Structure formats: structure tokens, C-alpha cells
Amino acid sequence: MKKSPLLLLGLFVLVSCLPENNENVIGVKFDGTGYKPIYASADEIAKIEFTAAKPLTEPGKIYVSDPYLFINEMGKGIHIINNADPKNPENLSFISITGNYDMAAKDKWLYADNLSNLLVFDISDPKTPKLVKTIANAIPVNNYPPYQNIYFECVESKKGLVIGWEKVTMSEKPRCYR
């Protein structure tokens, strides 16, 4: 099949008309800040710990299994709270789960994300939950921040897995944009 010289010329003209500075294309000027990935090793991510109660600092979703509350701590794990006396809830313990942002429960099972892994806990005794199954790579993970119209450092997989994003001052505009 013969390529048309006119088609090649048209593509050349189109590409040569794009501005050098992509800010004009995307419409967002770089303000000196961007998002930097926070990395962890596979071993750090796989480490699930049951610890003493911790104060809630960035709570997310809540699941009620009367009289217990399971409260997600964004990116860090799940608090277990005895709410038998709603005027005086008792923070019992914490399940440390790196990259945990979501959870759901049904009957005696608590399901939680651990980045791309799905964890299944037996909560028939919520005071002492038990990890019973890890389903590896069950959840798709994006290698970009969960925000729109932002600049960010491109992910370098050799540094580990991305467990979060940190907004930082940057001396030059990063290559990645979303």
C-alpha cells in the first residue's frame, strides 16, 4: 500500500502547529506546585497489623455492625469502635492496612482494599478480627493522583508501589499532567 505524500505533508503541518509550551494546549499554567508519589515496598504493603486504638485523624467511610463501628482512616487502615453507648464510644483497636481507602461488610465479613489487593476479615468477634484471605491484584490501581488539572511527577516503578500522593513545591514543571 502506497502512502500519499499529501497525507504525510498534512501530518507534518499539523504537528508543527502545536505550541512548544503544552500549557497552551491543556489550559492550566504551572504554579510551582505538583504532586509527588509516596512509595512503599511490596513487603511494607503486605504487612497487615492489629494494633491498639489510635485517634482518628482523617476518617473516611463508616460501616455499622451494631454495636460496633468500623471507620476507615484514609490510606492507613480501619478503626474498630464499640458504640454500645453512643454518648461514650470506645475506640477498641486499629487494623493497619497500607493503601486502604475503601471497605464494605456483609454478615461476619469485612472487605478492605490494600492498594490492588482485596483483604477479607472474619469479624464474627469484632474485638479480634482475623485476616482470612488476600486476593492479589483484585482492584485496578492508577499511577496518577486522584485529582484533575494537576501536574505530578511521573511514577517510577523501580522505586516501589505508589501508596499516596503529596503536594509539594517544585522548581520545574513535571512531565506528567492529569
Same domain for 102 and 63, yes or no, is yes
Instruction: Give domain status of residue 70, yes or no.
Output: yes
Locate 69 and state its grid cell: 463501628
Task: State percent of the chain over pLDDT 90.
Answer: 74
127 pLDDT band (50/70/90 cuts)?
confident
* Closest to 38 measured CA to CA, from 151, 156, 141: 156
Instruction: Give domain status of residue 72, yes or no.
Output: yes
The answer, as to whether pTM is greater than 0.85, is: no
Same domain for 47 and 128, yes or no, is yes
Query: Do strands 59-65 and 176-177 pair parallel, antiparallel, or not at all (unpaired)?
Result: unpaired
More confident position, 157 or 28: 157
Number of domains in the chain: 2
Q: List the domain range (segments joined by +) for residue 110.
A: 43-135
Is pLDDT above 70 for 117? yes
Bridge partners, 34 (sequence order) = 168
* Closest to 115 measured CA to CA, from 44, 163, 157, 50: 163
Same domain for 30 and 53, yes or no, is no
Cβ atoms of 134 and 16 closer than 8 Å: no
Is pLDDT above 60 for 108? yes
Task: Name the phi and psi angles at 121, rounded to 5.
Answer: -115, 140
